[in-house]
């Protein structure tokens, strides 16, 4: 039941304590949590930018409805996805599988073909939506894992993606979702609010 208690503890932190920072070990743990998150086929055609530069974060805050979490959190994570998913992504993934599992690439031909077919038969828009879903799987896994570790977070969709891409100099990738992480300010009143969710008997139906 520990996980339930930690999920009750977490909330979308509105005010971070800017004096409290994740340790180097905690930041490495965050990276590994994201690395181990589920992803369709395991392709992970996305990247996570860790924004530490205060000047850059001030610029991003201006195009994020001036939300203080952008600058006050210990670290700012920006999930970005490739603007296009191609056979090259599959080729690199197959190489990685062969290397890590020490198998011949020829034994992966069927899996390779299935992935390439899935990509070829989707439009660019469909592929973009598909990768966005993989990012949100990773984000959800991160939020739950952070709560268990006693680290606060606040997923943010309220930002100008075009401006983010410009500020961060993104060309081959584009911003999808932002997640400040750190530690709550003791004066953030939102942490004392009771969590509001649908009753379980309304949320679930057994068929």
Question: What's the whole-number mean pLDDT along residues 145-163?
Answer: 98
Question: What's the whole-number mean pLDDT along residues 56-83?
Answer: 98
For domain 2-83+139-203, give the CATH number.
3.40.109.10
Sorting pLDDT into bands at 50, 70 and 90, what band is 154? very high
Tokens of 152: 């606060």
pTM of the complete model beyond 0.85: yes
Tokens of 81: 């996805």
Question: What's the whole-number mean pLDDT along residues 38-52?
Answer: 97
pLDDT digits (tens, 9 = 90+) for 8-31: 999 999 999 999 999 999 999 999
Q: Locate the domains of the chain by residue range.
A: 2-83+139-203
| Other Cβ atoms within 10 Å of 143 Cβ, number | 20
pLDDT digits (tens, 9 = 90+) for 162-200: 999 999 999 999 999 999 999 999 999 999 999 999 999
């Amino acid at each position: 039941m520990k996980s339930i208690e930690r999920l009750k503890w977490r909330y979308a932190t509105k005010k971070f304590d800017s004096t409290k920072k994740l340790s180097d070990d905690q930041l490495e743990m965050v990276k590994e949590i994201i690395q181990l998150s589920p992803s369709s086929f395991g392709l992970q055609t996305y990247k996570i930018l860790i924004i530490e530069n205060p000047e850059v974060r001030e610029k991003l805050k201006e195009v994020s409805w001036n939300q203080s979490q952008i600058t006050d959190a210990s670290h700012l994570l920006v999930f970005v996805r490739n603007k296009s998913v191609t056979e090259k992504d599959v080729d690199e993934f197959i190489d990685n599988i062969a290397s890590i599992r020490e198998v011949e690439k020829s034994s992966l031909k069927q899996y390779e073909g299935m992935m390439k077919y899935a990509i070829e038969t989707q439009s660019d828009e469909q592929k973009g939506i598909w990768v966005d879903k993989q990012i949100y799987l990773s984000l959800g896994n991160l939020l739950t894992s952070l709560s268990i570790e006693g680290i606060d977070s606040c997923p943010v969709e309220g930002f100008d993606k075009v401006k983010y891409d410009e500020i961060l100099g993104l060309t081959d990738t584009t911003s999808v979702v932002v997640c400040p992480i750190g530690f709550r300010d003791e004066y953030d009143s939102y942490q004392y609010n009771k969590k509001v969710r649908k009753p379980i008997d309304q949320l679930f139906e057994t068929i």
